[in-house]
Amino acid sequence: MAEVVVVGTGYVGLTTGVCFAHLGHNVVCVDTDIKKVERMRAGEVPIVEEGLAELMAQGIASGRLRFVIDAAEVLPACEFVFLCLPTPERDDGSVDMSYIEAVAGRIGPMLAANAVVVNKSTVPVGASKTVARLLGRSDVHVASNPEFLREGTAVYDFLHPSRIVVGAENNEVCARVGALYKGVDAPVIFSDPVSSETIKYAANAFLATKISFINSIANICEHVGADIHTVVDAIGRDPRIGREFLQPGPGFGGSCFPKDTIGLVTLAAEAGYKFGLLESVIEANDQQLERVVEKVRRAVGGNLEGKLVAVWGLTFKANTDDRRHSPAITIARKLLLAGARLAVFDPTVVGVVPELEANAGGAVAVAPSAVGACAGADALVVLTEWPMFAGVSPVEVAGALGNTQVVDARNLLDREAWRAAGFTYQGIGR
């Protein structure tokens, strides 16, 4: 059992703190947002994550999980400090390290000798060296321990990882960090810090590449008349390819892939390598968003000006309330810019959609239900794969819509049933 401080309580930091307490460590989570700390102290979970509320309540009840605002009161007694801070993308594609640098620059003098500062956030290759310099302590160690958590399944992913990666200057420090995961059944890989940081970027870049690859194959299927589901099923059976992450859609989004792909292209360029393959993955993703807009334009007869489009789904994927870099938001904005009005429904959205209100001037209505969003609309577009959408009756939707046109950007709906209800159905790659 170790004394652990986690700085930052976003979906990585809070999940990390709660799960380390679950593994038996004494954990203090630090956040400068006073209201957020007070809400978490009262057991309120600020993010939608399966299983987090129960583990958080257990941690608080056992006394192993606490929340504070000021790190200074807890850092001197801790053995490990996990930095789970935002590393947003800058306009030029580089990674903004200012949050991490600010904390690393401040906490050095507060730490006990032999403490380990661990980078959990996705940080640029070489960040461990930067953190060590800013800490200014030769008797404090730095390690990289990248997270491989998916939003919506972060707790499961933390407790059932396919591997644990720790990068540090020597095996003794790696082993100390690796030992925190006692109780988690997964291979532990020790490396130097730079390899560990590179592993994180390479993993996300490869996953994004799989998505852009299958979206491109889906587009070819549309042109040659093949069915993407059959193609994916057959190629995915080859263990060298694998079935995961071959689901075609509107393009990848979220707080990681868009930032990490551009971040890696920028890092590579700064290191002297032009990562053309990854640049084309990003380009293919941008084009996929446009292709969905084009399908909606076709569905309403060729011109979006003045048309009403029903939109199902605004989050970047199902089972999360996160709309950061959501393909659905990007596509909705493009439809608005083309002159369309929108009636939107997402199970996690109540009231207004700030990202859309800004440029909508009243052209966006938030509907109380999926069918409600379809009233009088010229077409329906499905942008997020919420399971509830697959259960809506196409007959009921046909009765609500002004025009039986559906663009299913997630291949979620039963195409034959919607066609039987009179719909012109456009999917992705089928």
* Continuous segment of H or E residues that includes residue 196: helix 193-224
Contact between 211 and ligand UDX (CB under 6 A)?
Answer: yes
DSSP-based three-state secondary structure for 280: helix
Residues 6+ apart with CB under 8 A from 299: 378, 379, 381, 403, 405, 406, 407, 424, 426
Contact between 285 and ligand UDX (CB under 6 A)?
Answer: no
CB 52 within 8 Å of CB 15: yes
- The span from the CA of 29 to the CA of 41, in Å, is 10
Residues 6+ apart with CB under 8 A from 225: none
Pick from 167, 193, 254, 347 the residue near ligand UDX by CB under 6 A. 254
Contact between 317 and ligand UDX (CB under 6 A)?
Answer: yes
Q: Pairing state of beta strands 308-312 and 188-191?
A: unpaired
Confirm whether 374 is a catalytic residue: no
Contact between 252 and ligand UDX (CB under 6 A)?
Answer: yes
**What are the tokens at 311?**
């939109």
Contact between 258 and ligand UDX (CB under 6 A)?
Answer: no
DSSP-based three-state secondary structure for 344: strand
Give the interface segment with ligand UDX, choosing from 129-137, 254-262, 274-282, 397-405 (CB under 6 A).
254-262
- The span from the CA of 377 to the CA of 223, in Å, is 28
Pick from 36, 90, 106, 150 the residue near ligand UDX by CB under 6 A. 150
Residues 6+ apart with CB under 8 A from 302: none
Q: How far is the CB of 105 from ligand UDX (least distance, A)?
A: 26
Task: Give me the catalytic one of 78, 174, 256, 374.
Answer: 256
Q: Pairing state of beta strands 164-168 and 141-144?
A: antiparallel
Pick from 17, 108, 161, 249 the residue near ligand UDX by CB under 6 A. 249
Give the interface segment with ligand UDX, choosing from 59-67, 78-86, 148-156, 333-341 (CB under 6 A).
148-156
- The span from the CA of 312 to the CA of 309, in Å, is 10
Q: How far is the CB of 97 from ligand UDX (least distance, A)?
A: 18
Q: How far is the CB of 150 from ligand UDX (least distance, A)?
A: 4
- The span from the CA of 208 to the CA of 319, in Å, is 19
Nearer to ligand UDX, 151 or 378 (CB): 151
Contact between 257 and ligand UDX (CB under 6 A)?
Answer: yes
Q: How far is the CB of 315 from ligand UDX (least distance, A)?
A: 9
Pick from 209, 247, 404, 411 the residue near ligand UDX by CB under 6 A. 247
Q: How far is the CB of 268 from ligand UDX (least distance, A)?
A: 19
With CA atoms as reference, report the closest residue to 99 among 66, 125, 121.
Answer: 121
Residues noted as catalytic: 256
* Residues making contact with ligand UDX (CB under 6 A): 147-151, 204, 207, 211, 245-247, 249, 252-254, 256-257, 316-317
